[in-house]
Amino acid sequence: MIVRRNSMLGACAGAALLLAGVTGSSAAENAGSPAVVELFTSQGCYSCPPAEAYLGELSKRADVIALEFHVDYWDDLVYGSAGKWKDPFSSAKHTERQRRYNNAIRKKNGVYTPQMVIGGILETVGSQEDKVEKAIKIIGQTRASPLSVELEKGAGGALDIRVTGPEKTNASIWIVWFLPNVETIVRSGENKGKTLISHNIVTAMERVGEWRGEPVSLNIHSASDGRSQGCAVIVQAGQAGPVLGASYCPDNRAS
């Protein structure tokens, strides 16, 4: 079911920050472990550009891994005489990822844009910067000791991945490919006539290993699809659960 933003704002305001099941630790213990912030958005959504601009600011920070997932449920919506706009980066997989988060965090199957999910366990409207900042701070202060994700360039363009830490929760190790900066002229739909600037648009996610409580070393030869792409590695429990550790690939680290 497609749920548009206006019908969801009240619900997400009440369920913006959920802390159930989060164990505690000090902020100092989490130093150097960035919070993963995922923005679910669409170029057909009038309310989304401010959230995308804010994600661009977050992408410059060393304490954040910023990722932008374009959903597909706006693609067939007709906006009066402006018609509809098919987001070229939209994906049903991204919509399914968002729906899994909403089922887990909000206990609802409905989805909305712009939505930010922080650390895999907190969510809020993506343009509400104060709530996002609060969530990033909460993730830093309340996570159990995070996993260390160390990434280095290997021979022949490979990526060497090493994951260590005391966390015993089973999890998957993912490499996430993204386009760092994209400019799009929107020619129809709610944002007709606008030039949109997007950051870290996710194009693919690939499971490359598993975490089972023991140190993991991987040598990955995965390649992008030929476009200029960046990447990050995240360790996540379940298909849309807590993020236990993350890092940008060497060329994508915040300066």
| pLDDT score, position 10 | 32
In a domain, 76, yes or no: yes
Mean pLDDT of the chain: 86
Q: What is the pTM of this model?
A: 0.86
Distance CA 76, CA 216 (A): 43
Nearest-CA neighbor of 189 among 105, 90, 79, 102?
Answer: 79
Q: Edge-to-edge, what's the strand order for the sheet holding 171-185?
A: 122-125, 115-118, 35-41, 64-70, 195-211, 171-185, 230-236, 243-248
Q: What is the pLDDT of residues 28-67, one digit of tens each?
A: 333 457 999 999 999 999 999 999 999 999 999 999 999 9
Map tokens 């929107």 to a residue: 186
Q: What is the pLDDT of residues 150-161, one digit of tens each?
A: 999 988 878 999
| pLDDT score, position 253 | 60
In a domain, 24, yes or no: no
Tell me what the mean pLDDT of segment 201-225 comes to: 88
What pLDDT band is residue 251 in, cutting at 50, 70 and 90?
confident
In a domain, 161, yes or no: yes
CA distances from 133 to 18, 81, 101, 155, 244 (A): 14, 38, 19, 38, 19
The token pair that represents 158 in the structure block? 């490979």
Distance CA 138, CA 140 (A): 5
In a domain, 142, yes or no: yes
Query: In percent, how much of the chain has pLDDT > 70?
Result: 83
Residue of 149 and 155 predicted with greater confidence: 149
Most confident range, picked from 12-16, 113-117, 222-226, 250-254: 113-117
Map tokens 């200029």 to a residue: 228
Decide: 169 and 153 in contact? Cβ < 8 Å: no
What pLDDT band is residue 27 in, cutting at 50, 70 and 90?
very low
In a domain, 206, yes or no: yes
In a domain, 27, yes or no: no
What pLDDT band is residue 13 in, cutting at 50, 70 and 90?
very low
Tell me what the mean pLDDT of segment 84-106 comes to: 97
> Domain span at residue 86?
5-17+33-252
pLDDT at 232 over 80: yes
pLDDT at 18 over 60: no
What pLDDT band is residue 16 in, cutting at 50, 70 and 90?
very low
In a domain, 25, yes or no: no
The token pair that represents 235 in the structure block? 């360790």
| pLDDT score, position 55 | 98
| pLDDT score, position 15 | 34
In a domain, 22, yes or no: no
**Total number of domains constituting the chain:** 1
